[in-house]
Amino acid sequence: MVSWHIRGEMDEIDVDQSYAGHPTMFSIRMHHGGDFTSFPGRKYIRGKKTFVDLLDIDTFSVHDIDEMMEDLGYASIGKPLYYHFQRPLGDLDFGLFALASDEDVRYLGSFVAKHKLIEVYIEHDKTTLHTYLMSPTHSKVRITEITEPPSCSKTLFLEWHSTPVVDLEDDMDHMEKESGNDPTPTGHLEKDLGNDATVTDHMENDLGNDATLTDHMENDLVNDANDFGKFGELESDNDESDDSDFFVDIENILDDINVDMQDFEMNIDKDVEWVGGSSNTVVDEGTQDEALEVINTDFLASDSSSDEGINGQRKKSIRAIQRAHENDEALVSEPFYIFQKFGSAKEFKDKVKLHAIETRRELALEKNDKNRVRWVCKGTIPKLGPNVEVNDEEEICPWVLLASKWKKDVNWTVKTYNKVHKCLQTRTVKACTYKFLSSKIVEQVESNPAVPIRALQEQLQRRFKVDLSRMKTFRAKSEALNLVQGDFVTQYSLLRDYIVELQTRNPDTTVRVDVESEGNPHSETRTFRRIYICLGALKKGFAAGKRDFLGFDGAFMKGPFPGQILSAVGLDGNNGTYPLAYAVVETENISSWTWFLSCLGEDLGLNTNSNFTFITDRQKGILNAIADLFPCAENRYCVRHIRDNMRKQWRGKPFEDLLWTCATATHVQQFNKGMEELKKLNKDCYEWLKKIPPQHWSRSHFTGRAHSDVILNNLCETFNGKLNEGRDKPIITCLEFIREYLMKKIVNVEKAIGKCTGPLTPTAMQTLENIKKQAEDYRSVFCGNGKYQVSGPWMDQCAVDVVQQTCSCRKWELTGMPCKHAVATIWEMRKNSKDVGIPETWVHEVYWLKTWKQMYSFKIEPINGRSMWEKSVCPTTLVPPKHHVTIGRPKKKRRKSAYEIDDMVKGNSASRILQSVTCSKCNNIGHNARSCKGQKANAPSGSGGPGGSGKGKGKAG
């Protein structure tokens, strides 16, 4: 018999007083019919609340919640339900736990004695949380991988079952087999989840330590964002600080396909020699064959160019064979032997240097000319013992090695070799130079360019048993990177050859190179200034996307030649980024932006009368360039940058909320209402914001020709984040990194398209489904001439014109997707048996699946390696731009804005950076009493200001 009681939200009672003296009794406040927002700041929206009283934790189970949901009318829906409870005093970000098994109920019961009201949240159809993966048992949860998901990305589907999956009493043997002789459901789930750890212990540790639980759930959320490629907020820039954004445009969350660029360095051919560089192929000549089974016939050849008789030649050959047999043992263990031949003096010297490093001896050149090379050992010979005679003459180590070249002979032959050492080994060997070390770490640096210097230093010290400084290891790694990537200076001379190969393999590709003006027209060199690239496949794909919308932004280079990477990024029908063009320029100013936009306008066929839509930050260079080249274009400002400028004078959540309200308003009346509220809050802030024309930052003044209401420039920030690992490379390597990323991105998106079904893209389908849920509460009335009056809750009433496909709320006009009023109108038209089709047919074609597929049908073609590039016919050679050495250590991290510094946390307290400090002596702002120097301005009488009291305690006091 049901002992609990359901009451409405308005019937408030004092639960703690009602259950006084009953430690096992409690109540539940159920939140149902809604959805969770994204992390962080998670909320439960569009839901209803219902109270359930008179519950006893001793008899309570998950099945009781099933019956409650049936009483609330959810039994006929047929969709899975997911139950979560909130830990008392916790928030929705880290305080939610699954309520799917008896273990979960027992954990909930640990709070009932002190907290009589428990918050329970219901998710319908699917879950977006990780609480079910953290559940102590798997009797209620089964993780199933969908082989053919309805969406374009592979996901993990959590299927809720009302009955246990395994009966522990009837099938204990089966459980022991699957869990590794662990007859508990915990062992079974541990195997299902990857045998990481016992899940029960894991939960106890997490629940016992809030910090551990927070870290665990934050890592889960970060991994989930990486898997699905959602870019509602700005991504972190690797070694750069996170660029977190307060504003999250939920309606325009970017859905970008992930592209793996970790193996970019593996595509570079090590055997290719860059001009001015050296080959990456390193031959270790210090190894010899361990066994000699065949006599080397090279000893039968005469090493003398003199004319001898047959008998003398025969005797000489016999002696050579005898010496070869005598040196058989030496060949196995010794790197040198008499009559050993080398092709050149350099080969011989390199072999001796390697031997010096391997044996840790201080070998030095005593003779080095065209015919002879003599090595001796300069090591220290110990003088130990009481009977050692003191001699002024220093004893010399007997080790010596001589190689010479006979007349008219090409080879160098070892003539003298004494392998005996009397000196001590040393850990400081001059032959161990950074160039030698770089040849030993080429492969490691190629596979992992970000390997730490400390790790390389320790590895090389263990390998060669010598002392290495950190600076020598740094130079060795830099040399190895030059061998792998090509030298920074050298690649500029090969840039024209790269352009020829790029345009040959990718037809209709535009490449423009701008150089510095040269006073001497007969000079054979030109100084590089800028380069612009727009691949032919990207131009065709952007035109097929049918959306005249582009975002512009710049990112700085990190190499020895400072510069900026300018990019133009569009949006596809799935709210994914579609980069169109990119350029490397000297700096971000009016001249560089004008040049970049001029090249882009020629590729897209734009002129001064073109009605295009751009979104940028408020950098003066790009604003002036757009105004001069495309005066008729719609130029939107990124609201995040406006917020950053506002926070310099007016900080606080009320200002930011009103700014976001005005920016997201879709009609003028709503915008004016938000501005009036801002005026009441602070008139100065209102006057400052009023100076920015609303047609640049508010949706209420946007036109609908872009079919997008985006107000944040996240698409460019996302693309810049992908290029982070390529911005510190030489010019050709950097350009190749960008091209390879775009090539992989197109292929990955095409794979995702092949898994999608339906008339619209996955993001558009999800957006339309959310609109349909909102449209269920609206009623449409036909008014004639294709016009309808649509009314709904909260006095929301709009006029819809199905002929013009507009609505007075303007969302249909802005986005090209029917709003909730239009969907309600379409349903009303279908009731009257009109052939109007489903709401999907009224969506603009930029969101169609076939448009998305056509957009990514154009592929970027691969190019050949450096050794196969055709030589450019240009008579001049490019040289690097002038490098201006700045004072101090070069900075590689992004410069933080004021609001990021202001939000920093130091230890357990908030930072006071950029906060105003008022002096307690003179009441002036900007210093404290300790550093006060007796300022007189704004100081009241008796406070240390006028009158000299403050001055007397200043510097002279």
The backbone torsions φ and ψ at residue 484, rounded to the nearest 5 degrees and listed phi first, read -80, -50
3-class state of residue 924 by DSSP: coil
Q: Say how many C-beta atoms besides its own lie within 10 A of residue 198's C-beta.
A: 16
Q: What is the pLDDT of residue 7?
A: 73
Q: What is the pLDDT of residue 314?
A: 59
Q: What is the 3-state secondary structure (H, E, C) of 605-647?
A: CCCCCCCCEEEECCCHHHHHHHHHHCCCCEEEECHHHHHHHHH
CB 323 within 8 A of CB 339: yes
Tell me the average pLDDT of the chain. 78
Q: In degrees to the nearest 10, what's the CA dihedral of 492, 496, 497, 502?
A: 110
Burial of 824 (0-12, 13-18, 19+ CB in 10 A): buried
The backbone torsions φ and ψ at residue 178, rounded to the nearest 5 degrees and listed phi first, read -75, -30
What token pair was written down for 517?
Answer: 């003006």
Total-model pTM: 0.59
Residue 696 to residue 635: CA distance in whole angstroms = 6
What token pair was written down for 914?
Answer: 């950029």
pLDDT (mean) for 23-45: 88
Q: What is the pLDDT of residues 49-93, one digit of tens each?
A: 888 888 888 888 888 888 888 888 887 666 788 889 998 888 888
Number of residues in the chain: 957
pLDDT (mean) for 372-381: 91
Confidence band of 238 (pLDDT split at 50, 70, 90): very low
Say what percent of the chain tops pLDDT 70: 72
Residue 498 to residue 732: CA distance in whole angstroms = 8
Residue 3 to residue 1: CA distance in whole angstroms = 6
Dmax over CA atoms of the chain, in Å, equals 125
Q: What is the CA radius of gyration of the chain?
A: 38
CB 741 within 8 A of CB 753: no
C-alpha closest to that of 9 among 125, 117, 127: 117
Q: Alpha carbon of 181 to those of 137, 189, 276, 382, 732: distances in Å?
A: 17, 13, 65, 65, 58
The backbone torsions φ and ψ at residue 806, rounded to the nearest 5 degrees and listed phi first, read -135, 160
What token pair was written down for 373?
Answer: 């090379």
Q: What is the pLDDT of residue 385?
A: 58
Q: What is the pLDDT of residues 287-315, one digit of tens each?
A: 333 333 333 334 333 344 444 455 566 56
C-alpha closest to that of 721 among 596, 855, 553, 605: 553
Q: What is the pLDDT of residue 931?
A: 84
C-alpha closest to that of 551 among 530, 575, 574, 533: 575
- 728-758: b (≥16 Cβ within 10 Å) or e: bbbbbbbbbbbbbbbbbbbebbbebbeebee
CB 661 within 8 A of CB 632: no
pLDDT winner (highest mean) among 52-66, 321-335, 699-713: 699-713
Q: What is the pLDDT of residue 601?
A: 95
Q: What is the pLDDT of residues 446-490, one digit of tens each?
A: 888 889 999 999 999 999 999 999 999 999 998 888 887 777 888
C-alpha closest to that of 754 among 136, 154, 57: 154
Q: How far is CA 921 from the centre of its chain?
A: 50
Residue 847 to residue 818: CA distance in whole angstroms = 12
Residue 838, pLDDT above cutoff 50: yes
Name the residue type at position 77.
Answer: I
CB 137 within 8 A of CB 184: no
Residue 639 to residue 232: CA distance in whole angstroms = 14
Q: What is the pLDDT of residue 57?
A: 87
Residue 702, pLDDT above cutoff 50: yes
Confidence band of 902 (pLDDT split at 50, 70, 90): low
Strand ranges across the sheet with 81-86: 5-7, 48-56, 25-32, 117-124, 81-86, 96-98
Confidence band of 3 (pLDDT split at 50, 70, 90): low
Task: Report DSSP letters for 505-556, one per residue.
Answer: HSTT-EEEEEE---S-TT-SEEEEEEEEEE-HHHHHHHHHHT--EEEEEEEE
C-alpha closest to that of 720 among 28, 240, 173: 240
The region that residue 833 occupies, defined by phi over 0 for left and psi between -120 and 50 for alpha, beta otherwise, is left
C-alpha closest to that of 414 among 287, 303, 289: 303
Residue 776 to residue 773: CA distance in whole angstroms = 6
Say what percent of the chain tops pLDDT 90: 44
Residue 529, pLDDT above cutoff 90: yes
